[in-house]
């Protein structure tokens, strides 16, 4: 059924193509000003739709998201900067609306944490490697001749086993 309908649709499309494209004209963008819209979307991408589960107001079609987006649009048109617009939103809805948390006392750990963790991780790794070298230094110096003989012997027998 589905196949049939899509086949017929393709057929119809091919037929349509045969007809000289009289009506064909360039479509118009939904936004009156696509350049403005791009800026609006960049800002809207940073803002959380408060009534949605976890979406930006750029991605959401909820009423509030549409309202807030048009508010952003108005403000961009008035020549407000991105920071001013985000401040405006934060004043009204709190930091919750920002997907990029602000740098402040309660979020230092959030922003610095990963790099602090990296620093600690690498330091621990290097210290550990140094310590290992000291600890395993003598004990594992090298295999004694007898030991290495035994090892080659073992490897040989394993190999033969594998072949069989």
Partner 1 sequence: MRFLLPLGLFTVIVGFLWVGLSLNPSEVPSPFIGKPAPDFTLQQLHDPQKTFSNKDMLGKVWMFNVWASWCVACRQEHPLLVQLSRAQLFPVVGLNYKDERENALHWLREDGDPYVLSVVDKKGNIGIDYGVYGVPESFVIDKLGVIRHKVIGPLGPAELQDCVIPLVRELEKATAESPISDEVKKACA
Partner 2 sequence: MIPEIGNFALILALCVALVQGVVSIAGAQLGIRSWMELARPSALAFFVFIGVSYGCLTYAFVTNDFSVKYVVSVSNSMLPLQYQIAAVWGGHEGSLLLWALLLGGWTLAVAHYSRNLPLEMVSRVIGVMGLISVGFLLFTLFTSNPFDRLLPAALDGRDLNPLLQDPGLIIHPPLLYIGYVGFSVAFAFAIAALLGGHMDATWARWSRPWTTVAWVFLTLGISLGSWWAYYELGWGGWWFWDPVENASFLPWLVGTALVHSLAVTEKRGGFKNWTVLLAILAFSLSLLGTFLVRSGVLTSVHAFATDPERGVFILGFLVVVIGSSLALYAWRAPKVGMGGRFQLVSRETFLLTNNVLLVVACGAVLLGTLYPLLLDSLGLGKISVGPPYFDSVFLPLMVPLIFLMGVGPMARWKQASIPDIADRLRWAGAVSIVMALILPFVMGRWSALASLGFALTFWVFASSVVNIRERMAATRKNSKAGLLARIFSLPRSYLGMHAAHIGVGVFIMGVTMVQTYEVEKDMRMEIGDTVTMGGYTFRFDGVTQIEGPNYNASRGQILVSQDGKPVTVLFPEKRTYLVQTMPMTEAAIDTGLFRDLYVSLGEPVSNGAWSVRVYYKPFVSWIWAGTAIMALGGLLAVSDRRYRIAARSRRKEAKLKTAVGGASLATEEK
Helix (H, G, I), strand (E, B) or coil at 48: strand
Over 132-144, what HEC string results?
Answer: HHHHHCCCCCCCC
| 101-120 binders of partner 1 (CB under 8 A) | none
Cα gap 153→164, rounded to integer Å:
17
Give the phi and the psi of residue 2 in degrees, each rounded to 5. Answer: -65, -45
CB of 56 to partner 2, least distance (A): 7
Question: Residue 74 or residue 95: which is nearer to partner 2 going by CB?
Answer: 95
- Distance from CA of residue 79 to its chain's centroid? 30
Binding to partner 2 by residue 56, rule CB under 8 A?
yes
Segment lying near partner 2 (by CB under 8 A), choices 64-72, 77-85, 108-116? 108-116
Binding to partner 1 by residue 158, rule CB under 8 A?
no
Cα gap 34→15, rounded to integer Å:
34
What is the crossing angle of helices 34-44 and 82-93, to 10°?
50
Residue numbers at the binding site for partner 1 (CB under 8 A): 50-51, 53, 63-64, 67-68, 71, 90-94, 96-97
Residue numbers at the binding site for partner 2 (CB under 8 A): 5-6, 9-10, 12-14, 16-17, 21-31, 37, 45-46, 48, 52-56, 59, 94-101, 106-107, 109-111, 113-115, 117-118, 121-122, 125, 129-130, 132-133, 135-137, 140, 143, 147, 151, 154, 158, 161-162
């Amino acid at each position: 059924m589905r196949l049939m309908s899509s086949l017929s649709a393709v057929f119809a499309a091919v037929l349509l193509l045969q007809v000289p494209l009289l009506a064909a004209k360039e479509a118009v963008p939904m936004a009156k000003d696509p350049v403005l819209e791009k800026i609006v979307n960049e800002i809207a991408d940073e803002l959380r739709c408060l009534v949605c589960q976890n979406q930006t107001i750029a991605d959401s079609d909820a009423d509030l998201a549409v309202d807030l987006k048009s508010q952003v649009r108005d403000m961009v048109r008035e020549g407000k900067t991105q920071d001013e617009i985000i401040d405006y939103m934060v004043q009204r809805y709190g930091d919750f609306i920002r997907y990029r948390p602000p740098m402040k006392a309660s979020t230092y750990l959030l922003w610095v944490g990963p790099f602090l963790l990296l620093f600690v991780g690498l330091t621990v790794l290097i210290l550990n490697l140094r310590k290992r070298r000291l600890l395993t230094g003598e004990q594992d110096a090298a295999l004694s001749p007898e030991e290495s003989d035994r090892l080659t012997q073992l490897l040989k027998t394993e190999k033969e086993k594998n072949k069989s």
